[in-house]
Amino acid sequence: MQPLVDPGPELTPQQLARYSRHLLLPQVGLEGQRRLSNASVCVLGAGGLGCPAMVYLAAAGVGRITVIDSDVVDESNLQRQVLHRVEDIGRPKVDSAARALRELNPLVEVVPRQVRLTPENVRSELAGHDIVLDGTDNFETRYVVDDACTELGLPRVWAAVLRFDAQVASFVPTPWVRPEQATRLRDLFPVPPHPDEVPSCAEAGVLGILCGQVGSVMAGEVIKLVAGLGEPLVGRVLLIDALTAQTRIVPLRPRREAARPAVAAEPGRVRPVVELRQVEPAEVREGWPGTVLDVREPAEHALGMIPGAKPVPVGEVLTWTSTDPLPAGPVLVYCKAGPRAERAAAHLVRLGHPDVAVLRGGILAWIDQVDPSLPRY
């Protein structure tokens, strides 16, 4: 396919020295490096995927990197988000990432944007770039970005990781590719899954080195697309299994129904809203007059639990039916921060349990307000 970016100005002596190993590659050469130096890449997320991808994009000499993220650095990020350091904890991720990238390559312009992407601002934030690298970690934002890139005609490199598995693809519109190759996220997953159906990395975990592997692949896709090298993952999806060290590629074609609306408008997919009572940790300090369910995963249970709690992972709770014996008395459900507990509690209410509550803020709030001896994670 044709390169996405035109060659920029002639390289300076400093650039010639710095990027000499690229210049020795016939597929890159002077012209390819000039394309990279003239490219503007928007990286969404300074997290597990964005960090390693940006390291290699900056090292490769991409001219301008805009990094968009609304979060701050947390200690649990340091297991995989390799641009951040201990001293960055509590600092905006975009500032931490920008500092690290400028230290790595001062020839690259880095533009930090601490903003949360919404349907209202996404088009203005993405406009003006040559390509988007999507390292976002939630389905809501991924589909907002997918729709915006489709409308703007922006090529996009996308990936998702969970536990030991990953998927990578490059979504490139016409006229850069043939119509049968011009795919988007909604061709791969036509509608977002319901929040009950897919755990986040914070809930399920992720192998840190897999983020590095996938982020490097994403950076490689950006470089190939910008400079017109090789065979990018256009019309194809790369599947990675880190446990078995196996990879495979599956074809992807456009769907006629790819533009159908999001899950909330799908008939039969809308779930009734369940009002749940929220209980503060201080109210449970002296005990709970019924059953306390810890719906986290076993590895999380091993880190510590509320005294007297019964460990039952959320996936198991969601398999209970109206014929199963439900917990006796008032039930208090908690997880790490709240979402899993709310799913489990709502399921119990739908099964007919008369008294179900959720611990506001989960075990993290319990640690902050009641028992700081337990480890935060």
With CA atoms as reference, report the closest residue to 80 among 7, 18, 164, 172.
Answer: 164
For position 167, what pLDDT does the model report?
Answer: 97
Q: Is 335 a catalytic residue?
A: yes
- The torsion angle over the Cα atoms of residues 233, 236, 241 and 242, rounded to 10 degrees, is 0
For position 196, what pLDDT does the model report?
Answer: 55
Q: pTM here?
A: 0.77
- The torsion angle over the Cα atoms of residues 47, 44, 7 and 151, rounded to 10 degrees, is 160
Domain boundaries, the chain: 13-265, 277-369
Residues in Cβ contact with 171 at an 8 Å cutoff, skipping those fewer than 6 apart: 146, 149, 155, 156, 157, 158, 183, 184, 185
Tokens read off for 375: 């480890």
Q: Is 149 a catalytic residue?
A: no
Task: Give, for all 377 residues of the chain, the pLDDT tens digit.
Answer: 899 999 999 999 999 999 999 999 999 999 999 999 999 999 999 999 999 999 999 999 999 999 999 999 999 999 999 999 999 999 999 999 999 999 999 999 999 999 999 999 999 999 999 999 999 988 899 999 999 999 999 999 999 999 999 999 999 999 999 998 999 999 999 988 765 566 666 667 899 999 999 999 999 999 999 999 999 999 999 999 999 999 999 999 998 653 444 434 343 344 456 789 999 999 999 899 999 999 998 889 999 999 999 999 998 999 999 899 999 899 999 999 988 999 999 999 999 999 999 999 999 999 999 999 999 88
CATH architecture for segment(s) 13-265: 3-Layer(aba) Sandwich (3.40)
Distance in angstroms between the alpha carbons of the first and the last residue of the chain:
45
Catalytic: which of 42, 51, 149, 335?
335
Catalytic: which of 42, 149, 201, 211?
201
- Domains 13-265 and 277-369 in one fold: no
CATH architecture for segment(s) 277-369: 3-Layer(aba) Sandwich (3.40)
